[in-house]
């Protein structure tokens, strides 16, 4: 049976009320610590383009989406008072230029006292009178949207919510699992388009068609990289013309389900045995690291383990010589893998709180020499994160090794041979359990292939 991404999905409907209970509980606690009686969550406003009459694509406030899967409801508010049904001030503007939000409908609607308004001017009457007792959460670019509330995004309050968001509810896990299923279907379509020698733009279109997303609905701009473009970590150019030769394909693309993202990468060779074997080695490495994920593990250690394993791959592939400790210390592994092993995933692709040591906001630094590691927490059950090791030929970074002791540890001839293939990344989305992890992405590919 096809996956049900709709807001009539009975599984999500059954899980949603427990999710709301969890969100309420974390707001109860944050309000108590923050010394306030009401949390007001603003969905956000479309940002106007400078000196123009159009707007940037609207992105809902992640805190708003954590309450309800309303990713396209600008200028709306949730009002939460402990012990009471949350109020959803649902803005349905009178507007004949644009389509406006439909009637409130879906599994989420019954959890709110929904108040339909037709203008931002009608919001104030639904807010608590005592604005001093309110905390407002959201991006406020126009003071009119603050509704007279002065405590906007206070750190104590926000930190509690961000730390709590690291652990997903069963409803969120179901959304994230569905997001992987949706994304995997896109990846299969993209792989077919690569085999049919479509240009990057055509592969992108095949992906969007399969996941049924417009560009603005994607969780992040698709990375569709043929050949050496795979070495640009966030390559988003989408060449319109096919290259002369199809050597390799790196695709990093996700999908959304009710505001929750997947973030998946696969890399393919087109017949070259050296590059194909290197992909297989990286696949083995990635699965090895996935196999080490479980509650209690320090993610910084997992990141450093990845670099030790990568050193072995570099030596076997004749890209480097030396033992793992030497290649780590000299910066060789970091030049081939200059990003973090992974990050938290949720209503944001790089979900908040990855460096938080506790709810009060003290942070855990990444290991020295690895500043881009976005997750430094010890893993806990029901965290969802990516595991995304890579290996790239990035001349800018490799050139930095010249004139240092590392220069002699790199086999530059093999670097030259692999440069036209760009790079390799393999990225799965996993849920941490007490004894290991559930791999949402591998499960999704297995279910649809």
Among residue numbers 189 through 208, which ones bind ligand GLY (CB under 6 A)? none
Which residues lie closer than 8 Å to 272 by C-beta, 6 or more apart? 247, 248, 421
Residues 397-436 that bind ligand GLY (CB under 6 A): 427
Q: Which does 58 bind (CB under 5 to 8 A by kind): ligand GLY, Mn ion, none?
A: none
Q: Which of residues 340-399 bind ligand GLY (CB under 6 A)?
A: 343, 388
Q: Which stretch binds Mn ion (CB under 5 A): 56-64, 111-119, 193-201, 421-429?
A: 421-429
Region for residue 281 given its phi and psi (left: phi exceeds 0; alpha: psi -120 to 50; beta: otherwise)? alpha
Q: Are 337 and 307 in contact (CB under 8 A)?
A: yes
Pick the closest to residue 444 from 169, 267, 211, 281 (CA basis).
Answer: 211
Compute how many residues bind ligand GLY; rule: CB under 6 A.
6
Interface characters, 243-262, with ligand GLY (x: CB under 6 A): ---------x----------
What sign for the dihedral angle of Cα 137, 143, 145, 148?
Answer: positive
Q: Does 200 bind Mn ion (CB under 5 A)?
A: no
Q: Give the count of beta carbons closer than 10 Å to the beta carbon of residue 240.
A: 9
Please state, in angstroms and as integers, the Cα–Cα distance from residue 397 to each residue in 46, 62, 366, 400, following that order. Answer: 38, 34, 20, 5
CA separation for the pair 40, 136 (Å, rounded): 5
Residue 200, binding choice from Mn ion, ligand GLY, none, Cβ under 5 to 8 Å by partner class:
none
Pairing of strands 437-439, 77-80: unpaired
Q: Does 58 bind ligand GLY (CB under 6 A)?
A: no
Strand partners, 363: 356
Minimum separation from the CB atom of position 349 to ligand GLY (A):
6
Indicate the residue among 169 and 265 with the shorter CB distance to ligand GLY.
265
Of residues 144-163, which lie at the interface with ligand GLY (CB under 6 A)? none
> Which of 200, 263, 351, 359 touches Mn ion (CB under 5 A)?
263
| Residue selected from 29, 58, 201, 220 as contacting ligand GLY according to rule CB under 6 A | 220
Per partner kind, with CB cut-offs from 5 to 8 A, the member of ligand GLY, Mn ion, none near residue 220 is ligand GLY
Choose which of 227, 228, 306, 386 interacts with Mn ion (CB under 5 A). 386
Q: Does 252 bind Mn ion (CB under 5 A)?
A: yes
Q: Are 178 and 444 in contact (CB under 8 A)?
A: no
Cα angle 341-342-348, degrees, rounded to a multiple of 5? 160
Minimal distance in Å, beta carbon 390 to ligand GLY? 9
Name the residues that contact ligand GLY, by CB under 6 A: 220, 252, 263, 343, 388, 427
């Amino acid at each position: 049976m096809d996956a049900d991404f709709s807001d009539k999905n009975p599984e999500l409907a059954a899980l949603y009320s427990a999710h709301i209970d969890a969100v309420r509980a974390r707001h109860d606690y944050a309000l108590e610590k923050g010394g306030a009686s009401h949390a007001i969550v603003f969905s956000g406003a479309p940002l106007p383009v400078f000196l123009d009459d159009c707007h940037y694509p609207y992105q809902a406030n992640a805190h708003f989406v954590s309450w309800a899967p309303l990713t396209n409801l600008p200028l709306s508010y949730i009002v939460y008072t402990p012990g009471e049904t949350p109020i959803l001030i649902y803005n349905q503007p009178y507007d004949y230029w644009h389509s406006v939000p439909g009637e409130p409908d879906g599994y989420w609607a019954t959890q709110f006292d929904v108040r339909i308004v037709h203008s931002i001017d009608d919001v104030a009457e639904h807010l608590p009178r005592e604005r001093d007792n309110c905390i407002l959460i959201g991006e406020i670019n126009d003071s009119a949207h603050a509704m007279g509330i002065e405590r906007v995004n206070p750190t104590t309050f926000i930190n509690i919510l961000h730390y709590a968001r690291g652990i997903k509810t069963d409803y969120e896990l179901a959304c994230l699992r569905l997001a992987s299923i949706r994304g995997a279907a896109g990846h299969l379509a993209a792989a077919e388009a690569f085999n049919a020698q479509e240009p990057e733009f055509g592969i992108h279109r095949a992906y969007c068609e399969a996941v049924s997303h417009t560009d603005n609905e994607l969780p992040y701009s698709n990375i569709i990289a043929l050949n050496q473009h795979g070495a640009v970590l966030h390559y988003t150019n989408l060449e319109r013309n096919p290259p002369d030769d199809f050597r390799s394909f790196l695709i990093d693309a996700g999908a959304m389900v009710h505001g929750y993202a997947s973030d998946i990468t696969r890399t393919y060779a087109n017949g070259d045995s050296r590059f194909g074997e290197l992909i297989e080695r990286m696949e083995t490495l990635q699965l090895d690291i996935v196999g080490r994920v479980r509650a209690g593990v320090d993610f910084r250690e997992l990141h450093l383990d990845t670099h030790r394993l990568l050193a072995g791959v570099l030596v076997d592939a004749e890209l480097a010589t030396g033992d793992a400790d030497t290649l780590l210390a000299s910066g060789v592994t970091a030049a081939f893998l200059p990003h973090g092993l992974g990050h938290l995933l949720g209503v944001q692709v790089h979900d908040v709180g990855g460096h938080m040591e506790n709810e009060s906001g003290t942070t855990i630094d990444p290991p020295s020499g690895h500043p881009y590691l976005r997750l430094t927490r010890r893993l806990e059950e029901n965290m969802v994160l990516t595991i995304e090791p890579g290996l790239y030929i990035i001349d800018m970074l490799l050139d930095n090794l010249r004139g240092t002791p590392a220069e002699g540890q790199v086999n530059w001839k093999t670097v030259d041979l692999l440069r036209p293939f760009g790079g390799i990344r393999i990225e799965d989305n996993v849920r941490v359990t007490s004894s290991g992890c559930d791999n949402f992405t591998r499960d999704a590919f297995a279910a649809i292939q």
